[in-house]
Amino acid sequence: MADIAVIDDPAAAVVSLDPVRARLLAALAEPGSATTLSGQLGIPRQKINYHLRTLEQHGLLELVEERRKGNCTERVLKATASSYLISPVVLADVGPGQPAYDEEIFGPVAAIVAAEDEADAIRIANSSEFGLGSGVVTADLDSGPVIAQARVRILPRDDPDTLAARVLLRVAPALAN
């Protein structure tokens, strides 16, 4: 088992950020089965199996052994690393119901949420209960500041966050093309 594994697949990053799956990864620093994990974590074995399959599909778990128990085969798995680092990536197509949208994430991750129009962009930005940082990328320097101000309207005009939003808008045309 590696000490640290870098997750560079956006789908695997989202999978690893799920709270139940993160608990499973931590518990599987030592090999375990769905039955043992169910007892340790107080989660039904069937639900554990569902999450284990997902983690294994994304390369975060590896099979240690298979044991025959009556008519069943018990799979013993372990985490591929003792800890994981999410590579600096951009998560695209992020939306409600996904951890990268609904939860506060600390790390080198940028979640891109597409908006239908200006009103939708403002609605999306203001729906976050966190809002540590956000930005507007647009080629329209006339409407961009309006959108940014709508998001940071509770901040004074000389606040560094408001200034950062205006600076981002000035460099954004090169990024928007």
pLDDT tens, position by position, 149-160: 665 444 444 444
State the pairing for strand pair 72-79/61-69. Answer: antiparallel
User: What pLDDT does residue 163 have?
Assistant: 40
Residue 75 bridge partners (DSSP): 66
Residues 35 and 72 sit within 8 Å (Cβ to Cβ): no
Answer yes or no: are the C-beta atoms of 4 and 81 closer than 8 Å: yes
Residue 27: what pLDDT?
A: 95
Q: Which domain holds residue 22?
A: 2-85
pLDDT for the residue 89: 60
Q: What is the pLDDT of residues 59-90, one digit of tens each?
A: 999 999 999 988 989 999 999 999 998 877 66
Query: Quick check: is 106 in a domain?
Result: no
Q: How many domains does the chain have?
A: 2
Instruction: Note whether residue 59 is domain-resident.
Output: yes
CATH of the domain at 17: 1.10.10.10
Tell whether 126 and 165 lie within a shared domain.
Answer: yes
| Residue 93 domain flag | no
- For residue 129 the two structure tokens come to 């209960």
**Segment 160-177 mean pLDDT:** 39
Assess if residue 110 is contained within a domain.
no
Q: How confident is the model at residue 169 (pLDDT cuts 50, 70, 90)?
A: very low
